[in-house]
Amino acid sequence: MGEQDWLDVLGELRAREEPCVVVVVTAVKGSAPREPGARMVVTRAEIAQGTIGGGELERLAREEAGRRLADPTGASGSVDYPLAEAAGQCCGGHVTLFYELLRWRRRTLAIFGAGHVGQALAGLAPWLRARVRLIDGRDEAELHPRPPRERPYELVCVDAPEAELDGLAPDALVVIMTHDHALDFAILERALRRGCFPWIGLIGSQRKRERFEKRLLQRGFAAQTLARVRCPIGVTRTSKEPTAIALSVAAELASLLDGSPASRP
């Protein structure tokens, strides 16, 4: 394999969302099996690519990588190995290995409503680097515009879209933009009752927000809970064109998906 083939291997593992550890020789003192910069990619099952010299040091490195992969709180970090004492290798040098843990997990973005804006927003899935589920209560043949055959998101057409909330991961982001205000309300209420989603966005005006809040307060929701709902959504209010709205919402979501604070206009 070529020197850069480890990048291709990482790309394949990322596409499969298979976690791995990149083990890199970062420092060498004295005699050692490999030079600084040598690396190997380790999955839970095997060495997927590369070598740091074989032998006992490589076995220890595989074990350490496995421990980090098995530990949900595992993190990247360096470990020093005096080769004679730790690995029983006669070369007698000293090697420092850096373990870069890559879990590849993408957060889920659930978009309720496969209309013009919903489809435009879902189409930005590669840019958002999220697992996008576009959910609608209509049959695919009833959707307008018709969804493309090749799409970077999962289209879910079900009779009760609000029930899909129950299977979402607690850290999923939820966007509500269906063709029906009553359905919007049902989805919002169910999302709030689950109580775990870090961000719930509802398309619409400030007036729509006020109407929904009044009804939800009557149903026992606390004002503090309702304050978590983002409505209107998006970082700008300059256009009502579907693609422009989708881009505006995507800009807000991007800051959430990369861990930054949400933008506030």
Residue 261 has pLDDT above 50, yes or no: no
What pLDDT was estimated at residue 176? 98
108-257 in CATH: which number? 3.40.50.720
Tell me the pTM: 0.71
- Output the pLDDT for position 262: 40
What pLDDT digit, counting tens, does each position of 190-244 carry?
Answer: 999 999 999 999 999 999 999 999 999 999 999 999 999 999 999 987 788 999 9
Residue 90's pLDDT band (cuts 50, 70, 90): low
Q: What are phi and psi of 205, to 5 degrees?
A: -90, 175
Rg (CA), the chain: 24
Biggest distance spanned by C-alpha atoms of the chain: 76
> In the chain, where are the structural domains located?
5-102, 108-257
Task: Name the band, by pLDDT with cuts 50, 70 and 90, for residue 260.
Answer: very low
pLDDT at position 200: 97
Given a cut of 50, whether residue 263 has pLDDT beyond it is: no
* Rounded Cα distance, 264 and 234, in Å: 8
Tell me the DSSP string of 176-207: E--S-HHHHHHHHHHHHHH---SEEEE-S-HH
Task: For residue 43, give both structure tokens.
Answer: 């999955």
Structure tokens that stand for 19 in this block: 């976690």
174 strand-pairing partners: 110, 200
- pLDDT in the model for residue 239: 82
Q: What is the DSSP letter of 71?
A: -
Q: What is the C-alpha separation between 216 and 237, in angstroms, rounded?
A: 26
